[in-house]
Amino acid sequence: MGRIERFTLTERALHWVHAVAFFAMLLTGLALYLPALETAIGRRGLVKSTHLWSAIAWGAALVIVVLVGNRRALRRTAQELDNFDRDDLRFLTGRSGAPQGRFNGGQKVNAILTVAFALLFAVSGVLLWLGERDTRFRFDGTVFLHDALMWVSLVLLIGHLYLAVINPRTRHALAGITEGSVREDWAREHHAKWVDAPAVAPPEGVATPERSPV
Amino acid sequence: MHENEQRPREIPREHLGGRPIGRYGFLGVLGAGAASVVWGGPISRTLSRVINPVADSTGLSKVIPTSGWRIYTVASTMPKFDPATWRLTVGGLVETPVSLSYADLMEMSRAEQVSTFHCVTGWVVKDVHWAGVRLHEVLERAKPASGATALRFVSSEQPYDDSLTRAQAALPDVLLAYEMDGLPIKREHGAPLRLVIPDMYGYKSVKWVSQITLEGVARDGYWEQRGYDRDAWVGSNDSR
């Protein structure tokens, strides 16, 4: 059965850097935040510095992936995520039969929120760190923002994991973000406009096949 | 990284259709998030007032910090309070070292106050009702020596401690508290006795105080050895 490439190595690397770092910061963050966990684990200094170093590693790894990776593919993906057509809006209003591109409407919303939340997490985290050291960086709502982002992200994450790992109809999508390619018949069912779009010419001198028989 | 990889199938840009409107959602979320640095404080305190009574009765507040308080500990387990064996000792540069039981404390004159608690990490709990004994009442029993210019508060939660100068400790609203909001102080808030110094950030208000040592010079406490200010006056830009 034929397969189609869905994500470049760069896109997959970006996804997994973010995923691993998110879990590291979620777990250490919850150990700092939830009373029962905090008191069970204690050692606040150690947990806190693990949380902070995870954040630094996360930011550095993202920058490295973008610098050494395929930026053209990332720009291209950003354009697709930014672009909403009538079928995306139909999808978002509950008509899941509307034909979708490489990303469906829900995936676009999830990606946009994930990037916006990542920036807000970073900004509020830096403000919390600075605020402990200099009163000019202390704002009344920074803790609220950092906490609220965690709760909303947790809801998004649960939905994301359900669709990617559990729900039988959609979970083949996991292959796209691990191996890069998905089955053509699955893609045609879920992303018809992407599969059936007229092919784009490869850049000059590169003769890679669009579809590979597996 | 991208020379040898398969290129994902792309829809040509001119066939994408639709409009580039995702960016407005993106910017909207960023804007709302940034603005919440200003309105998030009042919102979270209002939420806390609504949710906390329910959360307290259902046990949810043990899981999620709905009261506005965050529980911070540095050791792997919290100290356990045993009224039979617990003592507060006052020593160091004093004429009469003192050892007080929980019952002794309860017999001393009771002081009450309502004050706001500021954490250096940014959260604030307004109007906390405290009851306990004034520090000077305890000090009068021990009679500090003339060279005693600082007090070190040692917590049963090792290795936590912190110091105040005599002048700071003499502020009128400094309290050794054994009650919080009408109940004996709970374990996670420092049972049975914690320091309260409302004009300074919370890490100065040592929980589980078991020993007060009069010393010649104020020393850096636990968090101060990790970068915090020793004179931790609450900043002027906080809501009080």
Angle of the A71-82 helix axis to the B22-58 helix axis, nearest 10? 80
A146, part of any domain = yes
Do the chains contact at A142 and B40, CB–CB below 8 Å? yes
How far from A32 is each of A27, A29, A36, B70, CA to CA, in Å? 9, 5, 10, 9
A136 inside domain: yes
Q: What is the pLDDT of residue B238?
A: 39
Residue A111 covered by a domain: yes
pLDDT at B12: 66
Residue A161 banded pLDDT, cuts 50, 70, 90: very high
Q: Which CATH class is domain B87-226?
A: alpha beta
Residue B176: CB atoms within 10 A of its CB come to 24
Nearest to A140 by CA among B35, B199, B204: B35
Which domain covers residue A64, as residue numbers? 2-197
Q: Do B74 and A44 touch (CB under 8 A)?
A: yes
Residue A164 DSSP code: I
Degrees, nearest 5: CA angle B208-B214-B215: 120
Tokens matching residue B226: 């990790």
pLDDT of residue B17: 78
What tens digit of pLDDT does each residue of A177-208 get? 999 999 999 999 999 999 887 665 544 444 44
Q: Residue B6: what pLDDT?
A: 60
Is the Cβ pair A142, B37 closer than 8 Å? yes
B86: distance to nearest CA of chain A, Å?
A: 21
pLDDT in tens, A109-123: 999 999 999 999 999
CA A58 from chain centre, in angstroms, equals 13
- pLDDT at residue B7 in the model: 67
CATH number of the domain bearing residue A77: 1.20.950.20
Q: Using the beta-carbon criterion (under 8 Å), do B8 and A85 form an inter-chain contact?
A: no
* Chain B residues lying within 8 Å of A181, measured CB to CB: 6
pLDDT value for B2:
47
A34 and B235: CB-CB below 8 Å? no
Residues A152-158 have a mean pLDDT of 97
What's the pLDDT score for residue B42?
86
When scoring B61, B121, B222, B230 by the number of chain A Cβ atoms within 10 A, the one with the most, hence best to mutate, is B121
- Residue A79 predicted with pLDDT over 80: yes
Give B-chain residues touching A68 at CB under 8 angstroms. 1
Q: Which residues of A touch B65 (CB under 8 A)?
A: 33-35
Write down the pLDDT at residue A175.
96
Asked if A4 lies within 8 A of B21 by C-beta distance, the reply is: no
Predicted pLDDT of residue A199: 63
pLDDT number for residue B43: 87
Kindly determine whether residue A9 and residue B1, on different chains, have CB atoms separated by under 8 Å.
yes
Residue A208 lies in a domain: no
Compute how many other C-beta atoms are within 10 angstroms of the C-beta atom of residue A93: 10
**How far apart are the CA of A25 and the nearest CA of chain B, in angstroms?**
17
Dihedral Cα B162, B165, B168, B169, nearest 10 deg? 70
Q: Do A39 and B73 touch (CB under 8 A)?
A: yes
pLDDT digits (tens, 9 = 90+) for A34-78: 988 888 888 888 999 999 999 999 999 999 999 999 999 999 999
Residue A67 within a domain = yes
Q: Does the distance separating the beta carbons of B18 and A83 come in below 8 Å? A: yes
Residue A2 has pLDDT above 80, yes or no: yes
Per-residue burial over B50-65, b = 16 or more CB atoms within 10 Å of its CB, e = otherwise: eebeebeeeeebeeeb
For A112, which of B16, B22, B37 is closest by C-beta distance?
B22
User: Is the CB of residue B145 less than 8 Å from the CB of residue B95?
Assistant: yes
Which of A119, A136, A144 has the highest number of chain B CBs within 10 A, making it the mutation to test binding with B?
A144
Residue A86: its chain B contacts at CB < 8 A? 17-18
Residues of each domain in chain B carrying CATH 3.90.420.10: 87-226
Q: Whose CA is closest to A210, among B216, B11, B196, B20? A: B11
At A96-145, the pLDDT tens digits run 789 999 999 999 999 999 999 999 999 999 999 998 887 788 888 899 99
Distance (Å) from the alpha carbon of B211 to chain A's nearest alpha carbon: 22
Run of H or E residues at A25:
helix A9-33
User: How many beta-carbon pairs under 8 angstroms link A with B?
Assistant: 214
Asked if B15's CB is within 8 angstroms of A206's CB, the reply is: no
Per residue in B81-108, pLDDT (tens digit) is: 999 999 999 999 999 999 999 999 999 9
In a domain, A89, yes or no: yes
Find which of A10, A34, A76, A82 to mutate to test the B interface (most B CBs within 10 Å of its CB): A82
Provide the pLDDT for residue A106: 95
Q: How many domains does chain A have?
A: 1
pLDDT (0 to 100) of residue B5: 53
- Chain B nearest-CA distance from A166, in A, is 25
Question: Among all residues of chain A, which has the CA nearest to that of B159?
Answer: A43
**What pLDDT, on the 0 to 100 scale, is given for residue A200?**
59
* pLDDT value for B23: 95
What's the pTM? Answer: 0.83
> Per-residue confidence of chain B (240 residues) as pLDDT tens digits?
444 456 677 766 666 678 899 999 999 999 999 999 888 888 888 888 888 888 878 888 778 888 888 888 888 888 999 999 999 999 999 999 999 999 999 999 999 999 999 998 888 898 999 999 999 999 999 999 999 999 999 999 989 999 999 999 999 999 999 999 999 999 999 999 999 999 999 999 999 999 999 999 999 999 988 888 888 888 744 333
Residue A150 inside a domain? The answer is yes
**Within-domain flag for A206:** no
Return the residue of B nearest to A82 by Cα. B22
